[in-house]
Amino acid sequence: MTRAAAPTGTVDVAIIGAGPVGLFLAARLAEDGREVAVFERRNGPSGRTRAIGVHPPGLEAIARIDLADALRGDGLEVRQGTAWSARSGRPPRVLGRVDFASALPDPYRFVLTVPQPATEAHLEARLRRSAPEALHRGVRVVDWTVRPGADGEGGVELRTTGPGAPSEATARLLVACDGAASDVPARLGVLVRETPTGDAYLMADLAANDGPVAPDEDGASIVLHPRGVVEAFPLPGGRRRWVVGTDGRPAEADPELLARRIRERTGEVVDPGTATHPSSFEIRLRSTDRFGAGPVWLAGDAAHVVAPIGGQGMTLGWLGAETLAREAGAWLDGRRPLHEALRRYERAHRPRVRSATARAAWNVRVGRATRFPWLRDRFVRAWLAGGGADRLARTFAMRR
């Protein structure tokens, strides 16, 4: 295939949003020698930490832009997990353990925890190294228009606002990495399914304690209680992320309430005064039936949102971005028509989204409030003892 030259000033790929997926995609494309522009409405990093877990496939993706070691340097390697049964008024009992170190292949025999701001800082620094001018902070994309042309040749024109907004921005391909509230799918006429699951959680990062269900520095704990799950994940710097199921009802993002629920369900005493990033969220799944149309494509949460229980959304976004970068490159180089490149991106990435959605749905289901806790305990204990532990380790680590 041959392609007409792009108009002067046109970048290969413009990206809306400098979240972890937009930054990763930009760094990945820049690494391939593509000219990229990333527009982010926020002036600086958000500082909000949602994603803490980086799974082995995510580490492999990040290794391809030479960031795996830097991320490991800032993170904590979670090598084991324990499932507990708890009832109010009695100490929790171990149902079984999973051992990532023995169940996973080299080189990443663990799930890394790193606060999202640290991950984003590394990605941004990496992008600035290979494309110092690519990131435009404080610039909101307010509109875009696909110009006429066969096989996407006309490109996309963007309208932006903000202090550093360029007077004109055009790109051969536009990728929306603008998160779960993206309106790009709707504008493209792509079908978006939003599914509330009726599950709600309270979450915060707290100073680590050494109580019964969170004893190991490198261990995660899942506590099954009749009123709902309690989860504890170690973080670097002597902290721990706690997540508590709120019995289907959204609760106020109140560290005192979180600490009370943790104590009621596990006996663990945590200090709410040390809480950072308290939040309360309901799970809403989002999926799109296409990952783009013409020269406008979708990636990360703009394309798919899986339940954060099990925390796989960011890794999933990176894996999609890898595939997208490869297929976009094939089109940009004239090796494939646009519709074929998009179809190949969808075909390669859709199965990952399905698996991650199913895994996350399972995680949510197992932790729900139940009137039959003894039945669930019996099932989980038997399953973990009967060879399920290694499978669970691989499933949780996105290795199946």
Strands 10-16 and 135-137: unpaired
When asked if residue 16 is in the footprint of ligand FAD (CB under 6 A), the reply is yes
CB of 314 to ligand FAD, least distance (A): 3
225 contacts ligand FAD (rule: CB under 6 A)? no
CB of 226 or CB of 355, closer to ligand FAD: 355
Minimum distance from residue 169 beta carbon to ligand FAD (Å): 11
What mask of x and - would describe binding to ligand FAD in positions 255 to 294, judged by CB under 6 A? Answer: --------------------------x-------------
User: Judged by CB under 6 A, does residue 19 bind ligand FAD?
Assistant: yes
- Kindly state whether residue 179 participates in binding ligand FAD, applying the rule CB under 6 A: yes
Q: Are 95 and 256 in contact (CB under 8 A)?
A: no
- C-beta of 268: minimal distance to ligand FAD in Å? 20
Phi, psi of 238 (to 5 degrees): 65, 35
The residue range among 50-58, 204-212, 342-350, 388-396 that interacts with ligand FAD, by the rule CB under 6 A, is 50-58
65, HSE (Cβ side, Cα atoms, 13 Å): 30
For 172, how many CA atoms within 13 A lie in the half-sphere containing its CB? Answer: 23
Cβ proximity to ligand FAD, 270 vs 305, nearer residue: 305
CA distance 173 to 189: 17
Rule CB under 6 A: is residue 229 a binding residue for ligand FAD? no
Binder among 10, 53, 118, 346 for ligand FAD (CB under 6 A): 53
Residue 166 or 179 having the CB closest to ligand FAD: 179
Q: How far apart are CA 251 and CA 310, in angstroms?
A: 20
Region binding ligand FAD by CB under 6 A among candidate stretches 33-41, 244-252, 331-339, 385-393: 33-41
How many residues bind to ligand FAD according to rule CB under 6 A?
Answer: 31
Q: Which of 10, 266, 287, 312 binds ligand FAD (CB under 6 A)?
A: 312
Residue keyed to tokens 């039959």: 372
Which of 87, 97, 140, 368 lies at the binding interface for ligand FAD (CB under 6 A)? 140
Residues in 315-334 at the binding interface with ligand FAD, rule: CB under 6 A: 315, 317
Q: Is 301 in the site for ligand FAD (CB under 6 A)?
A: yes
Instruction: Based on the shown chain and the rule CB under 6 A, indicate whether residue 173 belongs to the binding site for ligand FAD.
Output: no
111 forms part of the interface with ligand FAD (CB under 6 A): no
Residue type for 321, please? Answer: A
Per-residue contact string for residues 64-103; x = within reach of ligand FAD by CB under 6 A: ----------------------------------------
Closer of 18 and 68 to ligand FAD (Cβ): 18
Stretch that binds ligand FAD, among 38-46, 191-199, 252-260, 262-270 (CB under 6 A): 38-46
Q: Would you say 219 or 308 has its CB closer to ligand FAD?
A: 308
50 lines the binding site for ligand FAD (CB under 6 A): yes
In the chain, the DSSP E strands lie at 10-16, 36-40, 53-54, 76-78, 80-87, 90-99, 111-113, 135-137, 140-146, 156-161, 169-176, 192-207, 219-224, 230-235, 239-245, 276-288, 292-293, 296-298, 304-305
Peptide bond into 308 cis (omega under 30): no
Q: How far is it, in rounded angstroms, from Cα 230 to Cα 242? A: 7
CB of 390 to ligand FAD, least distance (A): 22
Cβ proximity to ligand FAD: between 58 and 92 the closer is 58
Which long-range CB contacts under 8 A does 384-390 form with residues at least 24 apart?
Answer: 384/83, 384/95, 384/96, 384/97, 384/98, 385/96, 388/96, 389/96, 389/97, 389/98, 389/99, 389/103, 390/98, 390/99, 390/102, 390/103
Residues 6+ apart with CB under 8 A from 359: 306, 310, 312, 395, 396, 398
What is the closest distance, in whole angstroms, from the C-beta atom of residue 45 to ligand FAD in the complex? 9
Nearest CA to 12 among 31, 42, 35, 45? Answer: 35
Among residues 325, 313, 21, the alpha carbon closest in space to that of 178 is found at 21
Contact residues for 8 (Cβ-Cβ < 8 A; gap 6+)? none
Which residues of this protein are in contact with ligand FAD, per CB under 6 A? 16-22, 39-42, 50-53, 140-141, 177-179, 203, 281, 300-301, 308, 311-315, 317
